[in-house]
């Protein structure tokens, strides 16, 4: 069974060379390919699908995994022909946490070697760019508004030094800006707010259960809409996350739907799997159990 491992060295900074050597030792039968620039993992994954690899392993963070899946989907029948493996090396690794994958290299290698598969839902977003319709896929989460603006503003240097705290700093800066109103249309009546979060799984921002009832296999997106994005609402969210009771402290609206449309009269950023992806308007949908992923 042919396996291609796509490694994002920026996920490990100065430790990249050591991790590359360890990956080679833990996966001796893999064809290791390093990314050299943002977006290259997508091209490498598409190339690997065309070359006939049956397993593609994304070694990096959520952004690397997102790029790899989009590359697989770029090739006709690529999602059906190839399964995804993960080696979580990024800052947060939300999707890997959702799957219960070990965070150490040896544990991840054992899970990959066992090769147990799970078919999971894949999120899809459709939007217009440069006058033409486009689509992208996401594994775990999406957001529009404050969190996406924080992702856009986050400092790469600070992220490498402080990890998730870099997003907190970027979020505090984004809070000083005006927060446009977002209209969210799903299975029921349209609702409005200044922050919209969508979950394919339970976790957001780490091991925080923003969507406790979510499932990777239910064909639905879990949606959370915050009416106002302010310093106080951010503090409420922190209290909710710290106590495991987000819904109690955070006055937000929740619903589930197989399709969701976000639009705004203002300029609103979009993030997919923790990476800046563009701006509204967008329409989300779900491809039920379209992705085969290796789990423990």
Residue 132's pLDDT is what?
81
Residue 79's pLDDT is what?
98
* pLDDT digits (tens), the chain, 296 positions: 599 999 998 877 666 777 778 888 888 889 999 998 989 999 999 999 999 999 999 999 999 999 999 999 999 999 999 999 999 998 889 999 999 999 888 899 999 999 999 999 999 999 987 778 889 999 999 999 988 998 887 755 655 665 566 666 666 676 777 899 999 999 899 999 999 999 999 998 888 888 989 999 999 999 999 998 776 666 666 666 665 566 666 678 899 999 999 999 999 999 999 999 999 999 999 999 999 999 99
CA dihedral 283, 171, 224, 160 (to 10 degrees): 80
Element (H, E) at 223: strand 221-226
Strands 132-138 and 116-129: antiparallel
| Alpha-carbon span 262 to 131, nearest angstrom | 18
| Alpha-carbon span 89 to 65, nearest angstrom | 11
- What CATH number does the domain located at 124-289 have? 2.60.200.40
pLDDT digits (tens, 9 = 90+) for 112-154: 999 999 999 999 999 987 778 889 999 999 999 988 998 887 7
Q: Tokens 């999971």 identify what position?
A: 120
User: Nearest Cα to 64, choosing from 37, 103, 101, 26?
Assistant: 37
Residue 240's pLDDT is what?
60
Burial class of 175 by CB neighbour count within 10 A (0 to 12, 13 to 18, 19+): middle
| Alpha-carbon span 199 to 134, nearest angstrom | 21
Residue 62's pLDDT is what?
95
Q: Tokens 């951010």 identify what position?
A: 234
Strands 31-34 and 253-257: unpaired
- Is the CB of residue 167 less than 8 Å from the CB of residue 150? yes
Q: Report the SS3 class of residue 178.
A: coil
Catalytic residue among 67, 98, 275, 279: 275
Strand-pairing partners, residue 195, are 145, 226
Strands 221-226 and 116-129: unpaired
Residue 236's pLDDT is what?
66
* CATH 2.60.200.40 residue ranges for the chain: 124-289
Residue 100's pLDDT is what?
96
| CATH class of the domain comprising 3-114 | alpha beta
| Alpha-carbon span 136 to 69, nearest angstrom | 10
pLDDT digits (tens, 9 = 90+) for 241-268: 665 566 666 678 899 999 999 999 999 9
* CATH 3.40.50.10330 residue ranges for the chain: 3-114
Annotated catalytic, 126?
A: no
The sign of the CA dihedral 92, 96, 99, 105 is negative
Residue 173's pLDDT is what?
73
């Amino acid at each position: 069974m042919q396996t291609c491992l796509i490694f994002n060295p920026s996920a490990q900074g100065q430790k990249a060379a050591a991790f590359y050597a360890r990956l080679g030792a833990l996966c001796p039968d893999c064809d290791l390919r390093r990314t050299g620039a943002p977006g290259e993992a997508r091209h490498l994954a598409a190339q690997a699908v065309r070359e006939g690899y049956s397993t593609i392993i994304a070694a990096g963070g959520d952004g690397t995994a997102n790029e790899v899946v989009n590359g697989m989907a770029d090739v006709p029948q690529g999602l059906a022909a190839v399964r995804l493996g993960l080696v979580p090396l990024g800052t947060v690794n939300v999707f890997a946490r959702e799957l219960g994958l070990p965070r150490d290299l040896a544990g991840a290698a054992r899970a990959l070697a066992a090769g147990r598969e799970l078919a999971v839902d894949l999120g899809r977003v459709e939007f217009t760019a440069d006058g033409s319709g486009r689509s992208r896929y996401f594994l775990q989460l999406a957001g529009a508004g404050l969190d996406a603006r924080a992702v856009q503003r986050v400092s790469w240097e600070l992220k490498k030094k402080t990890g998730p705290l870099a997003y907190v700093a970027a979020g505090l800066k984004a809070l000083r800006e005006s927060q446009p109103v977002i209209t969210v249309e799903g299975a029921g009546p349209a609702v409005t707010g200044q922050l919209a979060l969508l979950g394919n799984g339970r976790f957001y921002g780490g091991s925080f259960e923003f969507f406790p009832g979510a499932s990777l296999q239910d064909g639905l997106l879990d949606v959370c809409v915050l009416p106002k994005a302010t310093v106080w609402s951010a503090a409420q969210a922190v209290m909710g996350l710290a106590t495991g009771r987000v819904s109690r402290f955070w006055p937000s609206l929740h619903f589930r739907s197989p399709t969701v449309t976000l639009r705004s009269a203002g300029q609103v950023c979009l993030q997919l799997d923790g990476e800046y992806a563009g701006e509204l308007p967008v329409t989300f949908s779900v491809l039920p159990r379209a992705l085969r992923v290796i789990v423990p």
